[in-house]
Amino acid sequence: MKVEQISIFIENKSGRLAEVTEALGDAGVNIRALSLADTSDFGILRLIVDKTDLAKSTLKERGFTVNKTEVVAVEVPDRPKGLFGILQVLDRASVNVEYMYAFVERCGGNAVIIFRFDNPEEAIKVLTQHNVNVLQGDRIYSM
Amino acid sequence: MIWNDEFETLPKEAIESLQLKRLKQTIERVYATVPFYRNSFKEANVTPESIKSLDDLRRLPFTLKSDMRDNYPYGLFAVPLDQIVRIHASSGTTGKPTVVGYTRRDIKMWAELMARSFVAAGAHRGDVIHNAYGYGLFTGGLGAHYGAEKLGASVIPMSGGNTRKQIMIMQDFGSTVLTCTPSYSLYLAEAAAEEGVNIQDLKLRVGIFGAEPWTEEMRREIEAKLNIKAIDIYGLSEILGPGVAIECHEAQHGLHIWEDHFIPEIINPDTGEVLPDGELGELVITTITKEGIPMIRYRTRDITRLIAEPCICGRTHRRIARMSGRTDDMLIIRGVNVFPSQIESVLVSIEGVEPHYQLIVEREENLDTLEIQVEVNEQTFSDEIKVLQDLSSRIRHEIKDLLGITCKVRLVEPKTIARSEGKAKRVVDRRKESQ
């Protein structure tokens, strides 16, 4: 039920983000979702791509520090309070969200949001108990 | 094992009488042959006849690196060029290189002292010595090379650079002893890992590391990563090259300085006053057997102390403690003395942090600022900002605890800090540029 995400350490220097996307493009890797968290000195680029391992090895070869982590893709009803409903479920179960970002594409009539939890198993259990659709990795990579 | 039992285990009194005899000869010779020394002795009101005891040494003036530059290139040579069989020079990063010349006998003596050093480090005949010190004007490569041959080991004259090939040769030739700078040994381990080679599976047993200051923490890191015994060696071209002093593998505590060839003193770098054994100060060396360029009270700029206590290895020569820095490397940041090695020991003590770092010192509105650039690797990197920020603040706090100064920690991408194949450049002091 989990989705593989890669994260890349990027110094705040012009051109580094372009280099990442160029390298991935050259390797034929397509980006499905992304989020960039930044501080004054560095940023962390988080990506969900169609070919995770290829992306990771390509970037490592180019000298980037790359990590693979597991995140959870959740289908969120595309209407007011759609996201609130899901966060409320998580909050009531005391599941903490480390960070989250939106998916590029929609799934049917729904938006897709990527969550990073400190306890993903617990989060998935809570969400499915409340009939929230959690998307499989394979589905996400090929969307 | 000891290479030269007779000389390495001489009793203290015998060393001292040998030193006095050789010192007198050296003083007479430089007085007669080197105008620079004759003039400086005259200015200090000393003649060769006035040197009657080892204590009289302190009446002689110091020799500085700038004296070598002022007499560039051959002004300090004590023999004509037709007796000089080899010329080396320092890199000259801060001006003209300092040029040194060796007679045939100097080269033989150097090889002898390097052979002693190899044996003290635990190397022996039959070892395959992988010499990755740079060959050329730098004394490291050829100095270690001649010593390895004298020892009767098989020496691979790798020189620095060409890291992939170094790893291949180490695997294929079965290198057992590695000689290079400490930072290059870690670079080799890193590069080997990238090639999918586990450097711990190689036959390497001992590493002999010098030419740049390093710390006890870095030794532990090297010993763990390469699965070898890491030995500290000391030398400088002005005195000889590598092999002036080395740790013994038995104690790995302090470097035996070959006292039958050199007289070490420790001085207060500010006043020039000679300090007793055990006190920290600047190392001053007088050579007493060298023919090409004898050095009288050469100020090395290296900070250490003399250890007079007997060593478990049986060698009687005093030891110098691991260099704690250089007087010219020492940074004064907001009035606090800071040695790069102190910062290094903090970084290496934090799990997962690479010992690749650079210190950037600047002055903003008359206030010194220190930025420590630290490389992020896969072990320390996280997809969560807070983990990285915790890492920076932990480094910041530990530096503050140790040195009492506030610094900025900048996490940088791997391999962005230059890996020199010779000496690592740890400090960028921009205050000098802006003045």
For the cut 80, the answer to whether the pLDDT of residue A121 exceeds it is yes
Q: Which residue has the tokens 């690592």?
A: B424
| pLDDT recorded at residue B94 | 54
Neighbours of B357 (CB within 10 A): 22
Yes or no: say if B167 and B202 are a contact pair by the CB < 8 Å rule.
no
- Tens of pLDDT, residues B295-334: 999 999 999 999 999 999 999 999 999 987 777 777 878 7
Q: Which helix (H) or strand (E) holds B412?
A: strand B408-412
CA B191 to chain centre: 24
Residues of A with CB under 8 A from a CB of B: 5, 7, 9-11, 16, 37, 39, 41-42, 44, 46, 63-67, 69, 98-99, 116
| pLDDT recorded at residue B183 | 85
- Tens of pLDDT, residues A31-72: 888 898 888 889 999 999 999 999 999 999 988 999 999 999
Whole-number Cα distances in Å, B131 to B3, B118, B176, B185: 20, 12, 11, 11
The three-state secondary structure class of B433 is helix
Q: What is the rounded average pLDDT of the residues A80-96?
A: 92
| pLDDT recorded at residue B335 | 73
Neighbours of B372 (CB within 10 A): 21
Q: Which residue has the tokens 């590391």?
A: B209
Yes or no: say if B246 and B255 are a contact pair by the CB < 8 Å rule.
yes
ipTM confidence score: 0.78
Task: Tell me the two tokens of residue B376.
Answer: 């992020």
Please name the member of A5, A11, A67 whose beta carbon is closest to the beta carbon of B412.
A11
- Mode of pairing for the β-strands spanning B229-236 and B306-307: unpaired
Neighbours of B273 (CB within 10 A): 11
Give B98's contacts (C-beta < 8 A, 6+ positions apart): B65, B68, B69, B72, B89, B90, B92, B237, B238
Whole-number Cα distances in Å, B372 to A9, A16, B182, B352: 18, 21, 20, 16
Closest listed residue to residue B206, CA positions, set B175, B176, B247, B167: B176
Give the up-direction half-sphere exposure of residue B325: CA atoms within 13 A in the CB hemisphere: 20
For the cut 80, the answer to whether the pLDDT of residue A107 exceeds it is no
Please name the member of B378, B384, B385 whose beta carbon is closest to the beta carbon of A65.
B378
- Decide if A44 and B385 are in contact by the 8 Å CB cutoff: yes
Q: How far apart are CA B406 and CA B371, in angstroms?
A: 9
Please name the member of B378, B385, B411 whose beta carbon is closest to the beta carbon of A67.
B378
Task: Tell me the two tokens of residue B171.
Answer: 């695997």
The minimum CA-CA distance between A44 and chain B, rounded to whole Å, is 6
Q: What is the rounded average pLDDT of the residues A9-32?
A: 90
- Tens of pLDDT, residues B114-131: 999 999 999 999 999 999
pTM above 0.90, yes or no: no
Using 70 as the pLDDT threshold, list the residues of chain B that sit under it: 91-95, 418-424, 432-435
- Decide if A9 and B413 are in contact by the 8 Å CB cutoff: yes
Chain A residues in contact with B416 (beta carbon < 8 A):
11
Candidates A34, A42, A45, A96, partner chain B, best to mutate (most B CBs within 10 A)? A42
> Computed from CA positions of residues B118, B121, B126, B132, in that sequence, does the dihedral angle turn out positive or negative?
negative
| pLDDT recorded at residue B419 | 64
- Tens of pLDDT, residues B194-245: 899 999 999 999 999 998 778 898 899 999 999 999 999 999 999 999 999 9
Whole-number Cα distances in Å, B146 to A29, B41, B116, B180: 54, 35, 12, 15
Candidates B383, B409, B417, partner chain A, best to mutate (most A CBs within 10 A)? B383
| pLDDT recorded at residue B435 | 45
For B415: left if phi > 0, alpha if psi spans -120 to 50, otherwise beta; the answer is: left
Task: Tell me the two tokens of residue B102.
Answer: 């060796």
Task: Tell me the two tokens of residue B399.
Answer: 């530096």
Q: What is the rounded average pLDDT of the residues A65-87?
A: 91
Yes or no: say if B374 and B414 are a contact pair by the CB < 8 Å rule.
no
Yes or no: say if B55 and B263 are a contact pair by the CB < 8 Å rule.
no
Closest listed residue to residue B340, CA positions, set B354, B351, B327: B327
Task: Tell me the two tokens of residue B318.
Answer: 């005093």
Report chain A's mean pLDDT, rounded to a whole number: 89
Q: Which residue has the tokens 């030193």?
A: B19
